[in-house]
Amino acid sequence: MNVLIVAEVFKGAVRKASFSAITAGKELAEKSGGSFSILIMGKGIEGPAGELGKFGAASVLVADSDALEHYLAEPYAQVVAKVVQDKGFDAVLAAANTFGKDLLPRVAAKLNAGMISDITEVVEAGDEPVFRRPMYAGSVNATVKVKTKPFVASVRGTAFAKAEPGDGDSPKESVTVEIDGSLAGKQRFVKFDEAVSERPELTEAEIVVSGGRGVKSKENFKLIEDLADVLGAAVGASRAAVDSGFCPNDWQVGQTGKIVAPNLYFAIGISGAIQHVAGMKDSKVIVAINKDEEAPIFQIADYGIVADLFKVVPELIEKLKKLKAEG
């Protein structure tokens, strides 16, 4: 089958999550004996379009237009749906991040296509493709078949490695889509308040340090951030920590937040509710710091310390600093 992967541009570059979608799309194309193309949309996107030439795609389709300057669901969905129809793609994939989650179902409806969210495995790439995906906050692994052609799928980033660029240079093709303004004009971009951070992106980081309700205040949350900084880690949080205003929304890890799978994950003052665990259980090594020895987080942690975080975390920071100084 011929697979279309929709890549996302963020601040002038391809969003890293898109590289996992490329891996999944490539696998689907190879398993079914077809090929894959990559579509990129935006304004002034020669740079990221060039980046996308290095993954062995049959073509890189570039929709560069003023109307696509800011992401908005309707104009973007119009472009994707038109490209799929005109070029006869059988499958449309993108990352299961907020871009893909917002855009893809709208594309699916326009194509009257079935959509599978959050695929973690390509099981069969035949006439009626079959995928694996989590349900019920990861309590269930479901095997699901999609019966339409074309169909749509979003890709869970932690389940597919990021595609690595090679030597190739896929042909670029510019696509012009006449956007229906009567529909696209119904939504307007106003502003984006970025949660600026010097730290690595949560879903990319090798190490993630997360704090929960046990951290107790915004001021104390500094401690979590300090530990992250000595480790060069990203900062995450439980929903309770976010709801209590200790940290920004987009630090939330879990079923309804970010899905992460770093080499090392610290859960500090986090009880280990299933909705949180859903977002981090595929981490390679999990460390839990919690004063309650009954906390469910200890059932999945590789290393646990039953202690007061306000004692343990400062000591950890001190000792890590010393180790660092010693080289």
Partner 1 sequence: MKILVTVKRVPDPDMKVRVNAEGTGIVEDNMKFVINPFDEIAVEEGLRIKEKKGEGEVVIVAIGPSVVQEQIRAALAMGADRGIHVDVDSYPDPLNTAKLLKAVAEKEAPNIVIMGKQAVDDDYGQAGQMLAAMLGWAQATFAYKVEIADDNSKATVTREVDGGLETIEIDLPAVVTADLRLNEPRYASLPGIMKAKTKPMDVFKPADLGVELSPVLELVRMEEPPPRKGGIIVETVDELLDKLRNEAKVI
Smaller CB distance to partner 1: residue 10 or 30? 10
DSSP string spanning 21-85? HHHHHHHHHHHTT--EEEEEEESS-HHHHHHGGGG--SEEEEEE-GGGSS--HHHHHHHHHHHHH
Interface with partner 1 (CB under 8 A), residue from 7, 29, 115, 163: 115
Main-chain dihedrals φ then ψ at residue 32, nearest 5 degrees: -100, 5
Candidates 51, 74, 90, 226; binder of partner 1 (CB under 8 A) is 74
Binding-site member from 14, 67, 113, 208 for partner 1 (CB under 8 A): 113
For residue 17, the minimal CB distance to ligand FAD (Å) is: 17
Please state the closest distance from residue 171 (CB atom) to partner 1, in A.
30
- Which DSSP state fits 100? H
Query: Is residue 302 a contact point for partner 1 (CB under 8 A)?
Result: yes
Q: Which of 227, 264, 267, 295 binds partner 1 (CB under 8 A)?
A: 264
Indicate whether 275 belongs to the interface with ligand FAD (CB under 6 A).
yes
Instruction: Residue 212: name its binding partner from ligand FAD, partner 1, none (Cβ under 5 to 8 Å by kind).
Output: ligand FAD
CA 71 to chain centre: 17
Q: Distance between CA 176 and CA 64 in Å, rounded?
A: 8
Taking the alpha carbons at both ends of the chain, their separation in whole angstroms is 52
Mask: binding to ligand FAD, 293-312, rule CB under 6 A, as x and -? --x------------xxx--
Q: Are 304 and 322 in contact (CB under 8 A)?
A: no
114 near partner 1 (CB under 8 A): yes
Residue 226 near partner 1 by CB under 8 A: no
| Non-local CB neighbours of 6 within 8 Å, separated by 6+ positions | 18, 21, 38, 39, 40, 41, 80, 92, 93, 94, 100, 103, 104
Contact with partner 1 (CB under 8 A) among 44, 86, 88, 141: 141
226-255: contacts with ligand FAD (CB under 6 A): 238-241, 252-255
Among 78, 170, 271, 283, binds ligand FAD (CB under 6 A): 271
User: Should residue 213 be labelled a site residue for ligand FAD when binding is judged by CB under 6 A?
Assistant: yes
Residue pair 55/165 in contact by the 8 Å Cβ criterion: yes
Give the span between the Cα atoms of 175 and 4, in whole angstroms.
Answer: 14
Binding of residue 202 to ligand FAD (CB under 6 A): no
> What residues numbered 170-189 form the site for ligand FAD, per CB under 6 A?
none
Asked if residues 3 and 34 have their Cβ atoms less than 8 Å apart, the reply is yes
- Closest separation in Å from C-beta 214 to partner 1: 17
Say if residue 150 is preceded by a cis peptide, omega within 30 of 0: yes
Q: 89 or 266, CB closer to ligand FAD?
A: 266
Considering only residues 152 through 181, tell me which ones interact with partner 1, judged by CB under 8 A. Answer: none
C-alpha triplet 36, 42, 47: angle, nearest 5°: 75
Q: Kindly state the smallest distance separating residue 168's Cβ from partner 1, in Å.
A: 29
List the one residue out of 128, 120, 68, 131 whose CA is nearest residue 96: 120
Q: Of 25 and 279, which CB lies nearer to partner 1 in the complex structure? A: 279
- Indicate the residue among 130 and 307 with the shorter CB distance to ligand FAD: 307
Contact positions toward ligand FAD, by CB under 6 A? Answer: 212-214, 238-241, 252-257, 269-271, 273, 275-276, 279, 289-292, 295, 308-310
